[in-house]
Amino acid sequence: MPGHRYTHAEYALQQVVELFGNLVFALHEHNLFHTYCVVFRFVQLENIDYVVLRYLNTGLLPFEGFSEDLLFDEET
């Protein structure tokens, strides 16, 4: 989001979600279902599966989807 500075934790989470989201998508497209299941299980164990699924479904990385809400809250 323009003008927003990510904390180190936000930036790290964003990079991890993008990496795993792209990997899961590529594995599924190439019909590597066993590897897909192993990677997705790892994502579940790391407790970021909901964020990765959101990224796959909407194309938004963490903290990008809230930019309009944050702007509206600060303006009012």
pLDDT of 1-45, one tens digit each?
Answer: 455 677 888 888 888 888 888 888 888 889 888 988 888 888 889
Which residue is associated with the tokens 């899961």?
A: 24
Name which residue leads in pLDDT, 37 or 61: 37
Task: List CB contacts of 27: < 8 A, sequence separation 6 or more.
Answer: 33, 35, 36, 39
* Residue 67 placed within a domain: yes
Number of domains in the chain: 1
Q: What pLDDT sits at residue 3?
A: 58
* Residue 1 placed within a domain: no
* Residue 3 placed within a domain: no
* Residue 29 placed within a domain: yes
Range of the domain at 44: 8-75
* Residue 19 placed within a domain: yes
* Residue 2 placed within a domain: no
Question: Looking at the whole model, is its pTM more than 0.85?
Answer: no
* Residue 62 placed within a domain: yes
Per-residue tokens: 59:
């194309």
Q: Residue 20, class by beta-carbon neighbours within 10 Å (0-12 exposed, 13-18 middle, 19+ buried)?
A: buried
pLDDT at residue 65 is higher than 70: no
